[in-house]
C-alpha cells in the first residue's frame, strides 16, 4: 500500500472530498462519541457507494446501521453495533439474520491494537485475553503463539489493519489541513494507520493550529490529511464532543422507522435523499 502525503486541501464540496471513498474500499470510522461524519455518510449513500469493507473503531451506532440499510456494506468489522440507549440496531440485526453482510466480530482492544500495528508499521500486535473466546474460532487471521519471553504462555497476535481511507468529523481545521481532534486521539491513530484521511469539520480556524501550543497538543497535522470539507453540524444527529449532544428525538424516530424496511426507506427519503442536513 502507498502512503502518499499529499498537500491537504480544503475542498469546495463534500462530494469532492469523498471521491477517494470508492466502491469496495476499506473505510475506517470512529465510535459514536468521537466525531462521526454523518453528513458525509449521507452523501456517500446518495452517491450510491457499494461493497464497503467498513471498520468501526471500536464500535458503531447509527452510521453503520444506516450504511447497512442502504446496501453500502459488504463486510463489517467491529466490536458492537447498537443504537445505545435507543435500543438495537435494526438494519444491522436484519442483515446479520439474513446473512446479507459478512461480519467480522472483534473486541474493542483488538481493533485498537490492529490500528496501532499499522501506525507502527509492524505486521502484528500482541494482546492478552481472547484465548477461549469463540471470537478466535471465527477469526483465522488472529493467531496464538507461545510467548517467546515466557514459559508455556500462549498469547494472541493480531494482524495490522491498514484502511484505504479514514473518515471522521471534527470541530476545526485550518488552511493547511491541520485538524483539531482534542482528546479523541484514536482519530490520530486512525489517520496514521490509513492510507488516506478525509475529514469534515464544523468550521475553518483562520490561524495555524500548530502555531498555538494549546491547540497544537490536540491537532492532527495536515500532513496526514488528504481532504477537508466544511459541514456545520456534520455529526448530526450524533454528538460532537464539547460542541453538541445527541439528538435524542431524532434517534428515537430513527429507531422507530428503521424497525421495518418500509420505515427505513421513508427515513432515507426524508433525511438522506432529501439532502436535509439538520
Partner 1 sequence: MTEFRDEELLADVICRLIGDARHVAVGAASPIPATAALLARERAGLHNSNRLYVSLLGSRAHTFFTDGARELFDCAGQGRIDVFFLSGGQIDGEGNINLVSVGDYERPKARFPGSFGSAYLYYVVPRVILFRTEHSRRTLVPKVDFISAPGGSPDNVVRPGGPIALITNRCLFEFDRMQRRFRLASVHPGHGVEEVVENTGFAFDRPAQVPLTPVPSAETLRLMRTVVAPMLAEIYPQFAQKVFGVAAPLPSAHA
Site for partner 1 in 124-153 (CB under 8 A): 127-135, 138, 152-153
Residue 126 binding partner per list its own copies, partner 1, none, with a CB distance cut-off of 5 to 8 Å that depends on partner kind:
its own copies
197 binds partner 1 (CB under 8 A): no
Residues 141-170 that bind its own copies (CB under 8 A): 143, 145, 147-150, 153, 155, 157, 159
Q: Which residue in the set 63, 78, 114, 200 belongs to the binding site for partner 1 (CB under 8 A)?
A: 78
User: Which grid coordinates belong to 25?
Assistant: 474500499
121 binds its own copies (CB under 8 A): yes
Residue 149 binding partner per list its own copies, partner 1, none, with a CB distance cut-off of 5 to 8 Å that depends on partner kind:
its own copies
Of 65 and 184, CB closest to its own copies: 184
Q: What are residue 145's phi and psi, to 5 degrees?
A: -125, 170
Radius of gyration of the chain (CA): 19
Residue 71 binding partner per list partner 1, its own copies, none, with a CB distance cut-off of 5 to 8 Å that depends on partner kind:
none
Q: 33-70 burial by CB neighbour count: b if 16+ within 10 A, else e?
A: bbbbbbbbbbbbbbeebeebbbbbbbbbbbbbbbbbbb
Of 76 and 156, CB closest to its own copies: 156
Distance of alpha carbon 262 from alpha carbon 264, whole angstroms: 5
| CB 43, min distance to partner 1, A | 22
67 binds partner 1 (CB under 8 A): no
Distance of alpha carbon 118 from alpha carbon 159, whole angstroms: 9
Nearest to residue 157, comparing CAs of 140, 172, 182? 140
**Could you give the count of Cα atoms lying within 13 Å of 98 in the half-sphere of its Cβ?**
13
Total site size for its own copies, rule CB under 8 A: 32
| CB 217, min distance to its own copies, A | 3
The size of the chain, in residues, is: 278
109 binds partner 1 (CB under 8 A): yes
| CB 75, min distance to partner 1, A | 15
115 binds its own copies (CB under 8 A): no
Residue 116 Cα distances to 34, 121, 127, angstroms:
17, 8, 12
- The C-alpha cell 491498514 sits at 162
Phi-psi region of 81 (alpha: psi -120 to 50; beta: other; left: phi over 0): beta
Residue 201 binding partner per list partner 1, its own copies, none, with a CB distance cut-off of 5 to 8 Å that depends on partner kind:
none
Residues 209-248 that bind its own copies (CB under 8 A): 213-218, 241-242
Contact call for residues 234 and 244 (beta carbons, < 8 A): no
**Could you give the count of Cα atoms lying within 13 Å of 142 in the half-sphere of its Cβ?**
26
Of 214 and 249, CB closest to its own copies: 214
| CB 244, min distance to partner 1, A | 5
99 binds partner 1 (CB under 8 A): yes
Residue 157 binding partner per list its own copies, partner 1, none, with a CB distance cut-off of 5 to 8 Å that depends on partner kind:
its own copies
Amino acid at each position: 500500500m502507498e502512503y502518499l502525503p499529499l498537500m491537504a486541501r480544503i475542498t469546495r464540496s463534500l462530494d469532492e472530498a469523498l471521491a477517494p471513498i470508492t466502491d469496495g474500499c476499506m473505510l475506517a470510522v470512529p465510535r459514536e462519541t468521537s466525531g462521526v461524519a454523518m453528513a458525509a455518510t449521507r452523501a456517500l449513500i446518495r452517491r450510491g457507494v457499494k461493497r464497503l469493507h467498513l471498520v468501526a473503531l471500536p464500535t458503531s451506532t447509527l452510521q453503520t446501521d444506516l450504511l447497512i440499510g442502504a446496501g453500502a456494506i459488504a463486510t463489517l468489522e467491529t466490536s458492537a453495533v447498537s443504537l445505545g440507549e435507543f435500543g438495537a440496531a435494526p438494519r444491522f440485526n436484519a442483515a446479520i439474520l439474513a446473512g446479507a453482510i459478512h461480519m467480522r466480530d472483534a473486541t474493542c482492544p483488538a481493533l485498537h491494537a490492529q490500528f496501532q500495528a499499522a501506525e507502527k508499521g509492524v505486521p502484528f500486535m500482541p494482546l492478552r485475553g481472547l484465548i477461549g473466546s469463540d471470537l478466535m474460532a471465527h477469526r483465522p487471521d488472529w493467531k496464538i503463539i507461545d510467548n517467546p519471553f515466557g514459559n508455556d504462555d500462549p498469547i494472541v497476535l493480531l494482524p495490522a489493519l491498514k484502511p484505504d481511507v479514514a473518515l471522521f468529523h471534527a470541530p476545526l481545521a485550518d488552511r493547511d489541513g491541520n485538524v483539531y481532534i482534542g482528546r479523541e486521539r484514536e482519530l490520530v491513530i486512525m489517520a496514521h494507520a490509513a492510507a488516506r484521511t478525509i475529514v469534515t469539520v464544523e468550521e475553518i480556524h483562520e490561524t495555524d493550529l500548530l502555531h498555538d501550543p494549546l491547540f497544537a497538543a490536540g491537532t492532527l497535522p495536515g500532513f496526514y490529511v488528504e481532504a477537508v470539507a466544511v459541514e456545520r453540524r456534520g455529526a448530526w444527529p450524533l454528538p460532537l464532543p464539547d460542541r453538541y449532544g445527541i439528538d435524542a428525538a431524532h434517534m428515537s424516530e430513527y429507531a422507530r422507522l428503521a424497525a421495518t424496511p418500509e420505515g427505513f426507506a421513508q427515513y432515507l427519503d426524508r433525511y438522506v435523499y432529501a439532502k436535509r442536513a439538520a
